[in-house]
A and B are shown apart, each in its own frame.
Chain A
């Protein structure tokens, strides 16, 4: 048995993305680098061999997935697990969270202009977001961030795969206060949210905390 076969066996049996590090646990003699090599070889092999599946980089790991052109055949079966599509409000809220994480519900509501508590619960139930901490300040509101499953759901390798603001076809985008990486900026905007309508916002948050 060679390394490539072992790696293939592990990937074949897995129903979720695995990192090279995780795959390397299959055997004491394996290290991450060997696994990475094997993955590259396997990927090339599958691509050259006209297989119906590919070795895909997904959610910070690797997984064997069928090629998209076979979807029509698989979709005929009721029990092929099919990711459900998210609603408009859910996607919108998720987009805000993805770019601004970690952030609280107040900030999501400020950006969207509408309440988000129901949507946040749904996203959390579907394991697309999770609580990642608490903010400083009054009431120490919960902060949310996206999960591994979020990356999987959208086929992203990492958060770097999110469309960058500068790629979006919007006029004057340089003036838009959105950052992929800096939490400082996000924190500043949260502060802005508080300043804008302090009383109303705090009241609303208080009520929701009681409910949950």
Chain B
């Protein structure tokens, strides 16, 4: 892990620019602040470090509560220690230095980090030795190596197939789902009762709203999962077909049947 930190221009004294994503967690960040500034771990200037820590986590992504929480917890610990340091302590008080626990954790974490590097090296060394279990290479099915050949005409044709009404301008409004997936599943099954296969676009003919398309598609996926039907498409961006799957698990058409281009449209 790269732990470089950019030292900012002197107009903001002591300010460190820290990319929080680079750190494994709050201890990592704290240790970094201490080690890059040659601070004595056993005499941490808590006020200074707390300020730097808080600045560093300012840009935290509030969306990721788990990660943010870990850093905030450490921030709270630092502030608590800072406060305790301000309170006068009688000289003969045998109470521990408020920083002691944190120092222990930091040193131990540093040790773990060092061990981690050693483990990484050991893992790499071991990875260069091979035991039994070697199987001679067999030619692979190089499906992924074949470039996807799609012409602009095809893309354009596919775009034309997507007939969606322009979105109506609405202010933010929350409504119940206008169509249910179950409803669409029933529709699909009704259609498939009479014919072995149907076009996806056929199912949408009587409906204009986008949600119908989405729900029909979801229903198709769900029925596929339940092994009631299967979906076929000859190529990306072409018509989607829904095939009935008969009770014995075999479709009206063999599952590996490839729809020829003529069929597709």
Cα–Cα, bound, A80→B133 (Å): 7
Cβ contact within 8 Å between A154 and B108: no
CA distance A74 to B136 in the complex (A): 11
Decide: B128 and A71 in contact? CB cutoff 8 A.
Answer: yes
Contacts of B126 in A (CB 8 A): 83, 152-155
Q: Total number of A-B contacts with CB less than 8 angstroms? A: 144
Q: Is the CB of B119 within 8 A of A94?
A: yes
Closest beta carbon of chain A to B126's beta carbon, Å: 3
Structural contact, B134 and A96, CB atoms closer than 8 A: no
B19 to chain A, nearest CB (A): 15
Contact, CB under 8 Å: B131 / A95: no
Is A168 on the interface with B (CB-CB < 8 A)? yes
- Contact at A63–B131, with CB atoms within 8 Å? yes
Q: With a CB–CB cut-off of 8 A, which chain A residues contact B42?
A: 172
Q: Which of B98-143 contact A (CB under 8 A)?
A: 101, 104-105, 107-116, 118-120, 122-138, 140
Chain A interface size, under 10 / 10 to 19 / 20 to 34 / 35 or more: 35 or more
Given contacts A82-B127, A91-B116, A168-B114, contact A77 B122 (CB under 8 A): no
Minimum CB–CB distance for A97 against chain B, Å? 10
Measured CA separation A67–B129 after assembly (Å): 6
Query: Is chain B's interface secondary structure helix, strand, loop, or mixed overall?
Result: helix
Enumerate chain A residues within 8 angstroms of B118, measured Cβ to Cβ. 163, 168
Contact A114 B70 (CB under 8 A): yes
**Cβ of B151 under 8 Å from chain A:** no
A66 contacts B by Cβ under 8 Å: yes
With a 10 A CB-CB cut-off, give which of A56, A70, A81 has the most chain B CB atoms: A81
Q: Tell me the smallest distance from the CB of A193 to a CB of chain B, in Å.
A: 10
A122 within 8 A of B: no
Q: B105 contacts A154, CB within 8 Å?
A: no
On whether the beta carbons of A153 and B116 are closer than 8 Å, the reply is: no
**A56 touching B123, Cβ below 8 Å:** no
B26, A114: Cβ atoms closer than 8 Å? yes
Q: Does B66 contact A (CB under 8 A)?
A: yes
Chain B residues, Cβ within 8 Å of A170: 107, 110-111, 114
- Indicate if the CB atoms of B107 and A88 lie closer than 8 Å: no
Kindly provide the distance from the CB of B49 to the nearest chain A CB, expressed in whole angstroms: 15
Q: In the complex the two chains form, what is the Cα distance from A168 to B127 in whole Å?
A: 23
Q: How far is the CB of B143 from chain A (nearest CB, A)?
A: 15
Alpha-carbon gap, A140 to B128, bound state (A): 41
Whether B127 pairs with A85 at a CB distance below 8 angstroms is: yes
| A17, closest chain B residue (CB) | B131
Are B130 and A154 in touch, CB under 8 angstroms?
Answer: no
A63 to B122, CA, bound (A): 17
Taking a contact as CB atoms under 8 Å apart, the answer to whether A110 and B131 are in contact is no
B129 and A155 contacting across the interface, CB-CB below 8 Å:
yes
Distance in Å: Cβ of B11 to nearest Cβ of chain A = 32
- Contact status B108-A177, CB under 8 Å: yes
Cross-chain contact A91 with B135 (CB below 8 angstroms):
no
Assess the A78–B140 pair: CB atoms within 8 A: yes
Given A56-B129, A163-B115; A114-B24 close (CB under 8 Å): yes
On whether the beta carbons of A65 and B131 are closer than 8 Å, the reply is yes
Residue A133 is within 8 A (CB to CB) of chain B in the complex: no
Sample of 13 more A-B contacts, CB < 8 Å, known A13-B132, A64-B131, A163-B118: A15-B132, A68-B125, A74-B134, A81-B133, A83-B123, A86-B123, A91-B116, A91-B120, A111-B112, A113-B28, A114-B27, A170-B111, A176-B111
Cβ contacts A to B, 29 pairs, < 8 Å: A15-B132, A16-B131, A65-B130, A66-B129, A69-B128, A77-B136, A77-B137, A78-B137, A79-B137, A83-B127, A91-B116, A91-B123, A92-B112, A111-B109, A112-B112, A113-B25, A113-B26, A113-B28, A113-B70, A115-B70, A153-B123, A155-B126, A168-B118, A170-B110, A170-B111, A173-B107, A173-B111, A176-B108, A192-B101
The 9 closest A-B pairs by CB, nearest first: A155-B126, A114-B25, A113-B27, A68-B128, A71-B128, A15-B132, A65-B129, A154-B122, A95-B115
